[in-house]
Amino acid sequence: MNETVIILAPQFEEVEAITPIDFLRRAGIRVTIAGLTERTLTSARGVSLLTDVTLEEIENQYFDAVILPGGRGAWTIAESDRACNFILKHYQKNKLLAAICAAPAIILGKTLKILGNKNFTCYPGLEREAGCGNYNKMQVVQDGNCITAQGPGSAAQFALAIIKALAGNEKALEIANATLLTIDF
């Protein structure tokens, strides 16, 4: 079974976090919800969420994918040495990194310089913050082991791209059909 982790910090974008958690679990992919420093977090719109663990509790483990939602929490994650080291060690092991909204530009680009010459997308306007990579206006972009997406409106497509990368096209189509989404891959 594939194992993923989603890292949340206060003021995370709830749609970008909950949609991947829901869709991946529907696909039979294990998702560990990790709070950056605490177990109870409040989202950008005041939704409280209890995480499974804190990042400190799992920082020595490896996952098949690390998922990074946007919102103000992306800047907090980018400022955390623990989170950045965790993300980098996964990238260096060629694990999947999936980031949406502000996270591609702020975490993967500006802070970690992971985007290099990779194609990526992010919340429109933040691409200037990335400092590297090739910005693309598509809803979801995959380049190698990085999947990036624009924002809340692309959360379902983002989740399906992660499923496709981890469990294959057939599983992604199954989840798309079960959730009444139209996809084209």
Domains belonging to the chain, first-starting first, are 3-178 (3.40.50.880)
Average pLDDT of every residue of the chain: 97
**Mean pLDDT confidence for 146-159:** 98
Catalytic residue among 101, 122, 132, 146: 101
pLDDT at 183 over 80: no
pLDDT digits (tens, 9 = 90+) for 121-135: 999 999 999 999 999
User: Given this model, what pLDDT does residue 14 score?
Assistant: 97
Q: Averaged over 169-178, what is the pLDDT?
A: 97
* Predicted confidence (pLDDT) per residue in 52-84, tens digit: 999 999 999 999 999 999 999 999 999 999 999
* Pairing assessment for the beta strands 96-100 and 48-50 based on DSSP bridges: unpaired
Strand partners, 6: 33, 67
Whose CA is closest to 5, among 66, 57, 51? Answer: 66
Residue 101 bears catalytic tag: yes
Task: Give the residue-averaged pLDDT of 109-132.
Answer: 97
The percent of residues in the chain predicted with pLDDT above 90, rounded, is 97
Rounded Cα gap, residues 65 and 67, in angstroms = 6
Average pLDDT of span 21-29: 98
Is pLDDT at 170 greater than 70 in this prediction? yes
Answer whether 0.75 is exceeded by the pTM. Answer: yes
- Phi, psi angle pair for 159, to nearest 5°: -60, -40
Least confident range from 2-11, 36-45, 174-183: namely: 174-183
pLDDT of residue 185: 62
pLDDT band at 105 (very low <50, low <70, confident <90, very high): very high
Please say if the pLDDT value at position 87 is more than 80.
Answer: yes
| Cα separation, 62 vs 136, whole angstroms | 30
pLDDT of 45: 97
The answer to whether the Cα torsion of 20, 21, 26, 29 is positive or negative is: positive
89-110 average pLDDT score: 98
Residue of 35, 65, 36 whose CA lies nearest to 50: 35
